Every structure is written in C-alpha cells, then in structure tokens.
A and B are shown apart, each in its own frame.
Chain A
Amino acid sequence: LRKNVEDFTGPRERSDLGFVTFDITADILNGKKWFANGLNIFDWNVKQLFLYLSAEYSTKNNALNQVVLWDKIILRGDNPRLFLKDMKSKYFFFDDGNGLKGNKNVTLTLSWNVVPNAGILPLVTGAGHVSVPFPDTYETTKSY
C-alpha cells in the first residue's frame, strides 16, 4: 500500500483550503480468513467495500482533525487491486481555521468499510500511510 503526494494550499478568507493529488497502489486482502478463498476479501458474506482516503492532522484550534478526501465503492465482483494515478481529492479539504499552513504532519490513510450481506460492519484501516507536509505559504495563482 503506497501513496505519493504533492500538495498546495489555497487562501480562503478564514479557513485554509488544501489541495492534494495522489496515487494509490493498493491490494485489499482479508488478513483474517486465509483458508478456502485464499486471501480474497470478497468472501460469501461481503457485498461491497467502501474505500476512503482520509487526512488526519492536529492544529492549534483542534487536537484532532480528520477529513475524508476521496472515496470509492468496490462491489463484489470488482477487482480489489487499485492502481490509481494522479487523482484529485473528491471533496474540498477545508480546515476549521488556519491549521494547514505550515503543518508538517498531515497523515493520509486508506481505510475501508466492509459491508456484509448481513451481519457486522467492520471498519478496517490500511497498513500504509503517508505523511504530507503542507508548505508555509499560500499559493495565490492556482490552476487546479
């Protein structure tokens, strides 16, 4: 599980807005059930996977912030391997305040929600994560 990222920040009147582009290379396996289906995450009781990329960081204003930047639904039958390049975040990455500027420790993690045909709904966090440092200055001209 690997991600490569570049980043910019844009000025907004009161809250920082971050722009992130990323690549995702992932292979979603089911670490627990390794018999029968091999490591296939789509066993008989898995209907779909809800994948999401979230950024987690701390700011002066808030001890913990988590923002979902991108999500994807993988249905049973689809390939659980991802090779995505140059993706842009689906949702606006607004901070609650100005905590993105100069923030060296923004961590991106890939997680997923396993939706069964019936039963428990587990949330799993992927093994890899990437730290993204945001620059100290705002970008004034943006073509995004």
Chain B
Amino acid sequence: PRAVMDLFGDLRRMNKRQLYYQVLNFAMIVSSALMIWKGLIVITGSESPIVVVLSGSMEPAFHRGDLLFLTNFHDDPIRAGEIVVFKVEGRDIPIVHRVIKIHEKENGNIKFLTKGDNNEVDDRGLYKEGQNWLEKKDVVGRARGFLPYVGMVTIIMNDYPKFKYALLAVMGAYVLLKRES
C-alpha cells in the first residue's frame, strides 16, 4: 500500500552516507543492549540474571510467563525455603523450585534437595540418573524479585518463531529508517 511505497521511496532517496549513519546507529543500540545485559551478569553474579518461568510447578506463587530476577553471590548461603533456579547437569532448561533440605559441611560444601511448591514429590526424578542432591555449581541464582506476565513475550517468541522474525524485522526497519531531523 501507500505506506510501503513511501518507505521504499525513502530508502532510495537516502544517500550512502545516511545509510552508513543509520547502520552505525543500529549497531550502537545493539551494543548498548548487550553491554547492559553483560553488566547485569557481572553485578548479580548469575550467568542468567533474568529468567522466564516455564512451568506451573511453583503455582500459585509463579505462573508460566512470569519474569524472575536472580542474584548468585558467591557468599550467599543456600538455606531451606529459598527459591533457587538451577540447571540439571547436561540439560539447558533452568528450573525454578524451592530448597527443602540442606546438608552443609563445615568447609562450606553443601548438598541440597529441591521441590516445586505445586508438585507432590521432590525433584529427585528430575535430577540426573543416580543423582540425589544438587550442589552449588548447579545453581544459576536465587530468586530475589519478580514481575508477572512480562516473560510471556519470550515464550511466544519461542513457540512461534515466525512471530520472532516478524518482530525483529519490524524493529530493524524502524531503526534503519528512522531519521533524526
């Protein structure tokens, strides 16, 4: 339609210099976003400071699509009742559950058991074959704060990749064509 023709008209009228300028602008935005993310990783000590809740195993506290903010300070002890996000060795999916048992040695070595609030049984069935306990190294972080619903965008983008590409295309087009007068 008319709007699209206008867009192409715009593109052709831009000279090379303007195009390079727009691309640089775009690159700056992407770099800034990456820097903020990396900065968060450093500040919180967690490899993944913001995670999306993927299952209903912690209902009614957290629902699928909620966003969790994590910290993973090295000196923070793991205590019963805390909500931790962990990854089972060999699997990529972070799991958000509550710590229900800890056994800690004097030297700080700790082994602990987790369980989803909404699950009948503990997580031993989720751990690796023969694994009965989690250790500090399995922890991605501790849940410190949360926002409801906001993470749904990530889940939709995962389940409907076409939506993700469409969104990226629109964002890219906007940044490339936006002109500062």
B81 contact set on A, CB distance < 8 A: 50, 52, 54, 68, 111, 113, 123
A86 contact set on B, CB distance < 8 A: none
Is A31 in the interface zone, CB < 8 Å from B? Answer: no
B164 contact set on A, CB distance < 8 A: none
Number of residues on chain B facing chain A (CB within 8 A): 25
Q: Pick the contact of A119 from B60, B62, B146 — CB < 8 Å?
A: B146
Alpha-carbon distance A63/B110, docked complex (angstroms)? 10
A68 touching B101, Cβ below 8 Å: yes
Is A37 in the interface zone, CB < 8 Å from B? Answer: no
A115 touching B105, Cβ below 8 Å: no
Beta-carbon nearest neighbor of A56 in chain B: B80
Q: Pick the contact of A121 from B102, B103, B117, B145 — CB < 8 Å?
A: B145
Alpha-carbon distance A63/B106, docked complex (angstroms)? 5
Is B89 in the interface zone, CB < 8 Å from A? Answer: no
Interface residues as binary, B104-142 with A (CB distance below 8 Å gives 1, 0 otherwise) = 111000010000010000100000000000000000000
Q: Distance in Å from the Cβ of B67 to the closest Cβ of chain A?
A: 9
B101 contact set on A, CB distance < 8 A: 66-68
Is B169 in the interface zone, CB < 8 Å from A? Answer: no
Alpha-carbon distance A120/B38, docked complex (angstroms)? 22
Alpha-carbon distance A54/B81, docked complex (angstroms)? 8
Is A1 in the interface zone, CB < 8 Å from B? Answer: no
A63 touching B61, Cβ below 8 Å: no
Is A9 in the interface zone, CB < 8 Å from B? Answer: no
Alpha-carbon distance A58/B112, docked complex (angstroms)? 15
Q: Distance in Å from the Cβ of B117 to the closest Cβ of chain A?
A: 7
Alpha-carbon distance A47/B98, docked complex (angstroms)? 17
Is B147 in the interface zone, CB < 8 Å from A? Answer: yes
Alpha-carbon distance A64/B60, docked complex (angstroms)? 30
Alpha-carbon distance A63/B147, docked complex (angstroms)? 36
B83 touching A121, Cβ below 8 Å: yes
B104 touching A62, Cβ below 8 Å: yes
Interface residues as binary, B151-163 with A (CB distance below 8 Å gives 1, 0 otherwise) = 0000000000000
A64 contact set on B, CB distance < 8 A: 102-104
A65 with B117, Cβ < 8 A, contacts A50-B61, A52-B81, A113-B81 known? no
Nearest 3 A/B pairs, CB to CB: A66-B80, A63-B106, A68-B100
Q: Which of A's residues lie within 8 Å of B, judged by CB?
A: 47-48, 50, 52, 54, 56, 61-68, 71, 73, 75, 91, 96, 111, 113, 115-121, 123
User: With contacts A50-B81, A63-B104, A118-B148 known, what are 11 further pairs, Cβ within 8 A?
Assistant: A54-B81, A62-B105, A64-B102, A64-B104, A68-B80, A113-B98, A115-B62, A120-B145, A121-B144, A121-B146, A123-B81
